[in-house]
Structure 1
Amino acid sequence: MGQNPQNGDRLRPVDLARGHGLSTQAIRNYEEAGILPAADRTPHGYRVYTSLHAAALRAFLALVPGHGHRTATSIMRAVNEDAIEEALRLMDESHAQLLDDRRTLQAVESALRDLGPTTASEPGDTFIGPLAGKLGLRPATLRKWERAGLVRPRRDPRTGYRVYDDADVRDARLAHQLRRGGYLLEQIAPLIAQVRAAGGLEPLEAALCDWRGRLSARGRAMLTGAAELEAYLRERG
């Protein structure tokens, strides 16, 4: 979109950059990437930016925290090409991903609640048959989960039988709850890995709290980005 700025509306690259802690090269890069609309040039070839470019920059920087740099770039490029429906579709996809992430978090939290504490009377080590019976599974299912990395029983050096310790039983119970919730093995594996990295279920609570906070921050960032994008759309007319 070409500009026809009045003298008081003219902005240099440094004017746009200064207010956001950016370099003038970043401003030029944003224009070349289609994040900012194309600027008019003076007879000497200098770029002339306007309040419209300032609004575009504010919109882009507000979109990044909620949608990520790549999607925010695609949204702004679509708007500047007058492909508003495409911009809205991209935003919808981000919202759908956020909702899916929330559902994943809720599934993990629900699975942890449903696990409940193990009783002190339960033995520390168990074999595949008793564990499968306790979970209502077939031993073949536990072997499949082992191949997928969900459980990691050791082998008895004398008999070669699988031996499941407390952590293995915990992982199997968590996998069982998530499978009942409809999750695929490849979706469960990284969650089990998080439990192991956290050192158990209790430390994982802090990670889940942080996860919940980041999802909320992303949701609010999307609101801010939408408001700034709407302001830019009004500026474009």
Structure 2
Amino acid sequence: MRPVDLARRHDLSAQAVRNYESAGALPPAERTSAGHRRYTARHARALRAFLSLRRAVGHRAALDLLSTLHGGDLEGALTLLGRAHEQLLRDRTTLTVVERAVGDLEQGEDRGRPPRTLWIGELAARLGLSPATLRHWERFGLLAPSRERVSGHRLYPPSTVHDAELVHLLRRGGHRLGDIAEILGQVRTMGENSSVHTALTASRERVTARGIALLEASAALADHVRDGAASLGR
């Protein structure tokens, strides 16, 4: 088939298909005597796999995997696919942790514990921790208290109290500080509490869509490899 024939199947331009081939997402096409590209069913399978992978892991990662496969390195391609599944699992696990932690915090607020600005001793007592632990979390970048202008003592506004409670919950769940820093970063990008549930729902939908796309890509890749479509150096 011609580039335009393959492109129409996926609502792409013929130039996009040629670019994907040049980048390694498709195996090299055969050429007619006039130098025109001729694509086959193996190119269609490769393009289907690439587009599914792109929805799941992004353009660069999908291109790396397909170009590795078409370069003859099946083991390398399988390793990259495994990493994509691992990343999706980490994202799903992180999202579940955030959902549970936000729910736990809201339950605490419903029990009549509205957050307010606290001194370090007050926050430590509230969490049942030592002030030294809070200072350690601060040095690790998990908390960012303000300072009282005259004395220089630490002050924890409501947003930082929220962070401290979330860190405490995650630490009790056995999470490492490095993992908690990543989770906090995601929570902070969600905005104020009023929009957290909307953001969590949208994040869950994106993760689910990526999971389905990765399943589709894995199936397409299996067909591609099984039928001997890629150049595996055999």
In structure 2, C-alpha distance between the alignment counterparts of 1:193 and 1:23, rounded to whole Å: 38
Aligned residues: 227
In structure 1, C-alpha distance between the alignment counterparts of 2:114 and 2:61, rounded to whole Å: 50
CA contact (8 A) 1:55 1:235 kept: no
Helix, strand or coil at the partner of 1:36: coil
**Distance change >3 Å, CA 158–CA 234, structure 1 → 2:** closer
In structure 2, C-alpha distance between the alignment counterparts of 1:102 and 1:176, rounded to whole Å: 21
Shift of 1:198: 4.1
Pick one of 146, 164, 185 that aligns with 2:156: 164
Moved more, 94-103 or 175-184: 175-184
Pick one of 87, 92, 108 that aligns with 1:117: 108
In structure 2, C-alpha distance between the alignment counterparts of 1:123 and 1:89, rounded to whole Å: 46
**Distance change >3 Å, CA 36–CA 132, structure 1 → 2:** same
In structure 2, C-alpha distance between the alignment counterparts of 1:144 and 1:233, rounded to whole Å: 51
Pick one of 50, 53, 57 that aligns with 2:43: 53
Partner of 2:122: 130
Shift of 1:99: 0.9
Pick one of 194, 215, 219 that aligns with 1:223: 215
CA contact (8 A) 1:152 1:168 kept: yes
1:99 aligns with 2:74: no
1:141-220 pair list within 5 angstroms: 141-189=133-181, 191-196=183-188, 198-220=190-212
In structure 2, C-alpha distance between the alignment counterparts of 1:53 and 1:87, rounded to whole Å: 17
Identity %: 48
Shift of 1:234: 4.2
**Distance change >3 Å, CA 146–CA 16, structure 1 → 2:** same
Partner of 1:83: 73
Helix, strand or coil at the partner of 2:108: coil
**Distance change >3 Å, CA 68–CA 195, structure 1 → 2:** closer
**Distance change >3 Å, CA 235–CA 110, structure 1 → 2:** same
In structure 1, C-alpha distance between the alignment counterparts of 2:8 and 2:58, rounded to whole Å: 22
Partner of 1:8: none
Cα displacement string for residues 132-175 of structure 1 (whole angstroms, at most 9, x for unaligned residues): 12212221221232344433333333433222233332221111
CA contact (8 A) 2:26 2:66 kept: yes
Per chain length, whose mean CA-contact separation is higher, i.e. which structure has more relative contact order (CA < 8 Å, sep 6+)? 2
Instruction: Give unpaired runs (5+ residues) of structure 1.
Output: 1-10
Moved more, 61-70 or 213-222: 61-70
CA contact (8 A) 2:31 2:38 kept: yes
Instruction: Give unpaired runs (5+ residues) of structure 2.
Output: 230-234
Task: State the TM-score, normalizing by the size of structure 1.
Answer: 0.82
Partner of 1:5: none
In structure 2, C-alpha distance between the alignment counterparts of 1:158 and 1:73, rounded to whole Å: 57
